[in-house]
């Protein structure tokens, strides 16, 4: 199990605390410091069942600077932009054996725990 974590984000801290409380072993990846590769992000999006624009943080200043809301929905291009600007990736993401979830609420964290 792995969590893509941003310690400055309250939702991310809550998900990490829930994993700790459940007593599961996991790897913490501070994805702002260690961004995913394009291949990793593509694989995670596939596991989530989402497109990059579905999990992009469009209210981030860099999203506005890049005109992300007007960017054509080209998966490879969006992934490239998100890898170059990992703050655009919604957090936290919890990866289990075969699944991945954007764990912004307790139900999503439970789903991740149940899918181990």
- Which positions are catalytic? 9
Using CA atoms, how far apart are residues 95 and 27, in angstroms rounded to an integer? Answer: 10
* Structure-block tokens of residue 59: 């209210």
* Structure-block tokens of residue 83: 């890898």
Count CB atoms within 10 A of the CB of residue 78.
Answer: 22
Query: For 70-90, what is the HEC assignment?
Result: HCCCCHHHHHHHHHHCHHHEC
Nearest CA among 88, 112, 109 for reference residue 99: 112
């Amino acid at each position: 199990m792995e969590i893509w974590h941003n310690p400055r984000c309250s939702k991310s801290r809550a998900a990490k605390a829930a994993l700790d409380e459940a007593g599961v072993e996991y790897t913490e990846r501070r994805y702002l410091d260690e961004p995913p590769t394009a291949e990793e992000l593509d694989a995670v999006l596939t596991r989530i069942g989402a497109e990059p624009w579905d999990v992009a943080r469009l209210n981030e200043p860099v999203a506005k600077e890049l005109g992300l809301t007007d960017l054509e929905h080209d998966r490879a291009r969006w992934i490239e932009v998100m890898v170059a600007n990992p703050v655009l990736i919604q957090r936290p993401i919890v990866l289990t054996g075969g699944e991945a979830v954007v764990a912004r609420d307790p139900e999503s964290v439970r789903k991740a725990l149940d899918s181990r």
